[in-house]
Chains A and B, each alone.
Chain A
Amino acid sequence: MFAPPIAGAALLALAAEGGSEAVSSPLLDLVPIIPALPLAGFAFTALFGRRLGRLAHLVPLAAVVASWLIAMAVVYEALTGGFGEHGAGITLWTWVPAGAFQVTVGLFVDNLAACLLIVVTTIGMLVHLYSVGYMAHDPGRWRFFAYLNLFMFSMLLLVLADSFLVIFAAWELVGLCSYLLIGFWYRRRSAALAAKKAFIVNRVGDLGFALGIMLIWVSLGTLDLREVFARIGELDHTTIVAIALLVFCGAMGKSAQFPLHVWLPDAMEGPTPVSALIHAATMVNAGVYLVARTNPIFAQVPEAMVVVAAVGIFTAILAASIAFTQNDIKRVLAYSTLSQLGYMFAALGVGAFSAAIFHLMTHGFFKGLLFLGSGSVIHAVGDEQDMNNMGGLWRRIPVTHWTMLVGTLAIAGIPPLAGFFSKDEVLGESFKLGFAWVWAIGIVVAAMTAFYMWRLMGKTFYGPPSGHARSIWDRIHESTPTMTVSLVLLAIPSALAGLALGLPFGDSVLKRWLEPVFAGAEETLGHAAGEFALLGVDGALILASVFVATVGLLAGIWLFGAFRAGGRPAMVARISGANAATRFLYRASFAKWWFDDLNHLLFIVIGGKVAAACWWFDWVVVDGTVNGVGRLTVDAGRGLRRVQTGRVQNYALGIAIGLIVMAGSYLLIAGR
């Protein structure tokens, strides 16, 4: 059962045409195996999965575990300098040999790719493990694992790609997998609609991305990443701004930034492992990765970077405000993801690239943990997702509760958990690089994050049980070990990753890893490497962020309870109904600031009318013309047919007239 995928992967490795860099390490040849294994797993499961029934998960799981092992080896080699300072790549084959337009498919590993590999493969592996338990009773689980493996392949290809065209291909593939997985329970209408929405909104962003790639091709004549970065300085400023903004357009679609954010909350229709893997830890990070990867382009145009930062931080606060009032546990986490992604883009926009990547990594761990934990909660209360029907679960599902508590504290930014280090670095760098407004909004968002996350904890785990939970109280039990093991394994890096990667302050381990990737950009932008002053500006900033996080947390505890103490729903109602302004804010937040309605009005109603007008034009004018030509022919024929009377005298008249014409013309021409 395992022979085909491994054989296939080995074949792929052998097929590599070996365009390796001068810095070649034997591990470089193993790099193609990393995406190849999940691809083989997908192929195998797609062909034979249905027949395997209960065992359908074995091959995909094995493929992902094996991929993780190899990836860890490659990552170790990369981060310890085995591939050289700027990374190494191998060319697999020539995809488009069309004269002037040559595109090769190749993979490239540098420290940035290595960091992403850690996140993608680790969380991917843990989600696969979790899904074994979560999807145990679903008859379509073979499809689920096939899609998951296909997604892993696409995401790994995206991270390892070395040319824009391959990135774009992998970009579309992950979009496809997202569609397939969101609409996994395809018989449910809301799921199908959500999948369609995700794909279409993604497409809007992809249009911008495609235009950006075409612009790169037209201006530079190459799509290879390293070549483009080396020669980007040749172009004139406006072109680079256009390229940067178009590429960011694609990132906005994939990472759900405003105004293309509307698809992510609806994507929660998919199974929870999907939400964890795709919409928290990997696919939505593709946009962040793209901007980080193309940092040489962005570094040339600080104006575009300001746009990125503005969009990012605006999304952050918008999403955080919506999360205040949502009742579905997964929706709260979805908006939280939107908000944290906004943070990452804000960091990229201000020029703190490694801070963004740091936050990407820590966020992947604790958001993945939170989603998987929420899945465990939903499983425990019998597929109930409304938090108002939960409560008091901390005694019944302890493992889930304690791991989710770790995740919540991490996302709130409480030291010494991971979120504190990464969030603080994002905010601190924003302030020091001169973007005080980003810092200010970011601090407010930090407080909001802590608040609404504790709201989630309070309503779900603490106080007395209510509604549905109360009715099935005795049947609530902890999830299977496959699920809880994943939770615990994710809680560990959520707690410790910050300490591992974020210290020492100012010159962290991660920053040193990523320095060769971002050094060029930082030089172009003129960022001086400053000293870290614990007792100066930096210390003040740290204190500020910890302070607001604690304030938000305490407010949450006061309103929503902790452990045995229940919340104060009456107080909550009084605050939200205090005056017209708060009532409006509550309504706006609950209605997601009416963006879905706006989109509906613009594109369904007005767009529908435009489409109807076009249909009318096509039906009446275009079809009319075409049909009219046909009718004209028929009518002309019918008319001309009347010449054929069958009577000799009519024909004779024709002869007479012809004779007259000929004789007359001869007379006129030749006579005179």
Chain B
Amino acid sequence: MPIPDTIPLLNLPWADALFALLAGVMLLAALLVVTLRDIIRCGLALIVCFAALAGLYVLLGAPLLAATQVLVYIGAIAVLILFAVMLTQAKAAPTRLVFQTQAIPAAIAAAVLAIVIGLAAAATDWGEAGRRVATGTDALATLLFSDYVLPFEVVSVLLLLAVIGGVYLARRGDER
């Protein structure tokens, strides 16, 4: 039996359904990151969020970015975060309070911010075409090494500096 074009009963194209799934996972994971008590679990939720985002990048027609997301964010940054969590764990039980005293104003501010961004986005005419455009890897490479070669070089220096700085900051200098 051939796969129908749209999900039955919902009359939803498969791509849209996938999109909805990925978006939902991403948002749920993000919420878990900011609300869970245990930091390790927060970190794991972060990884899930990154993964969902990678899926969304694929839907947006940027497969290289999706791969980079998985490799760098999940593979490097999230692991780094987990290492830092391990290094800064207090011996005692997890603290009583998860949130600051200003959590409620912060929540309100965040909600208003979301609304403002949403309104701004909806109100503007972006002059878009309806169709998504995909980017090929070769087109990206061409751009990277012709129009954006300077930022490319600078970013590499930046990364070098960041590594050196990180190593220096984190060393156990004068400690017995």
Contacts and interface: CB of A to CB of B under 8 A. Distances in A.
Interface in B41-82: none
A650 B102 contact: yes
A656 B114 CA distance: 12
A668 to B, nearest CB: 10
Nearest to B109: A656
A653 B120 contact: no
A663 B114 CA distance: 11
A456 to B, nearest CB: 95
Contacts of B120: 663, 667, 671
A626 interface: no
A649 interface: yes
Interface residues of B, number: 13
A660 interface: yes
Given A649-B100, A667-B119, A659 B113 contact: yes
A657 B108 CA distance: 10
A660 B113 contact: yes
Contacts of B123: 667, 671
B85 interface: no
Given A649-B100, A671-B123, A664 B105 contact: no
A656 B119 contact: no
A368 B130 CA distance: 125
A663 B124 CA distance: 14
Interface in B87-135: 100, 102, 105-106, 109-110, 112-113, 116-117, 119-120, 123
A664 B120 CA distance: 9
Nearest to A649: B100
B120 to A, nearest CB: 6
Interface string A454-491: 00000000000000000000000000000000000000
How many residues of A sit at the interface, in one of the four size bands? 10 to 19
Contacts of A650: 102
Contacts of A664: 112, 116
Given A667-B123, A671-B123, A653 B106 contact: yes
Contacts of B117: 663
Contacts of B109: 653, 656-657, 660
A552 B171 CA distance: 124
A624 to B, nearest CB: 37
B100 A656 contact: no
Contacts of B116: 660, 663-664, 667
A651 to B, nearest CB: 11
B65 to A, nearest CB: 27
B140 to A, nearest CB: 32
Nearest to B112: A660
Contacts of A657: 109
B94 to A, nearest CB: 19
A663 B123 CA distance: 13
| Most chain B CB within a 10 A radius of its CB, from A653, A660, A671 | A660
A444 B106 CA distance: 101
B78 to A, nearest CB: 23
Interface string A644-660: 00000110010011011
Contacts of B113: 656, 659-660
Given A667-B120, A671-B123, A649 B112 contact: no
A649 B102 CA distance: 9
B136 to A, nearest CB: 36
Contacts of A653: 102, 105-106, 109
A671 B116 CA distance: 12
A671 B122 CA distance: 11
The winner among B100, B109, B119, B123 for most chain A CB atoms within 10 A is B109
Given A660-B113, A663-B116, 4 more contacts: A656-B113, A663-B117, A664-B116, A667-B123
CB-CB nearest 7 A-B residue pairs:
A656-B109, A663-B116, A671-B123, A660-B112, A664-B116, A660-B113, A667-B120
21 contacts: A650-B102, A653-B106, A653-B109, A656-B106, A656-B109, A656-B110, A656-B113, A657-B109, A659-B113, A660-B109, A660-B113, A660-B116, A663-B120, A664-B112, A664-B116, A667-B116, A667-B119, A667-B123, A671-B119, A671-B120, A671-B123
